[in-house]
Amino acid sequence: MKRREFSLTSASVLAGSALALGPFSVAQAQGQKPQDGTDYLTLKKPVATEAGPGKIEVIEFFWYACPHCNAFEPTLEEWLKRLPKDVSFKRVPVMFQDSFIPPQKLYYTLEAMNQLEQMHRKVFYAIHVQHEQLNKDAAVIDWAAKQGLDKAKFTEIYNSFSVAAKVRKATQLQEAYQVAGVPALGIAGKFYTDGSQAQSMPRALMVTDYLIATERTAKPKA
């Protein structure tokens, strides 16, 4: 389905397909090397990364309102605890239709205010447990104020050129990786995997570990 035809219902279906759990044991994961074109995709055109020299960039593409992204978050956080020093990780909020833009702006506003670490999980909780509808600017700003953030400062940053630029860049990166659904992972500006490709998101992290190791051996020492 083309992005311009994307509906909110389709977004939920596509997000679900990205997480689709399939039968795959740890023993199989250890005994079978991930296959290009099956477990992951190699991008036809490499994407420029922001990782420093000697670093391997990993990106999680996500949407705050995606229930599968919410479910994946604890698993991802555990994986991040053992992230090697030569791996640079970042999250990128996606945009499949206009209602995705306020959550994108929320993410980058929290980042600019140094509130992301404290507030990231709270956003998921607000949407999936408290059923907040954070898909409009006014709703996002009001919610942020209720969390104790300075409303005037939040609004100024939320509507700033810098946040708008980050939102555009995020969407461009999403398109460059040809993100089909969320959650999804981009590795080293070269590879893409998600729950559909890897059969589950936990296995997508195993595939990511494999691709990191592959990239590490191919990368010249800094």
Whether omega before 183 lies within 30 degrees of 0, making that bond cis, reads yes
Q: List Cβ neighbours of 65 (8 Å cut-off, separation of 6 or more).
A: 103, 127, 134, 135
Task: Look up the pTM and report it.
Answer: 0.86
pLDDT tens digits for range 130-147 = 999 999 999 999 999 999
Domain total in the chain? 1
Q: List, in sequence order, every residue forming a beta bridge with 88; answer none if it has no partner.
A: 57
Q: Compute the distance between CA of residue 151 and CA of residue 153 in angstroms, rounded to an integer.
A: 6
**What's the CATH code of the domain at 73?**
3.40.30.10
pLDDT in tens, 60-84: 999 999 999 999 999 999 999 999 9
Q: Kindly report the number of other CB atoms within 10 A of residue 136's CB atom.
A: 12
CA distance 60 to 38: 19
Is 5 part of a structural domain of the chain? no
Domain assignment of residue 182, yes or no: yes
Domain that holds residue 54: 38-215
* 29, part of any domain: no
Q: Assess if residue 103 is contained within a domain.
A: yes
Q: Is 21 a residue whose pLDDT tops 50?
A: no
Handedness of CA 11, 77, 138, 104 (dihedral sign): negative
pLDDT-based confidence at 218, cuts 50/70/90? confident
Q: pLDDT (tens digit, 9 = 90+) per residue, 160-190?
A: 999 999 999 999 999 999 999 999 999 999 9
Backbone angles phi, psi at 51, to 5 degrees: -70, 145
**Is residue 77 in a domain?**
yes
222 domain residue, yes or no: no
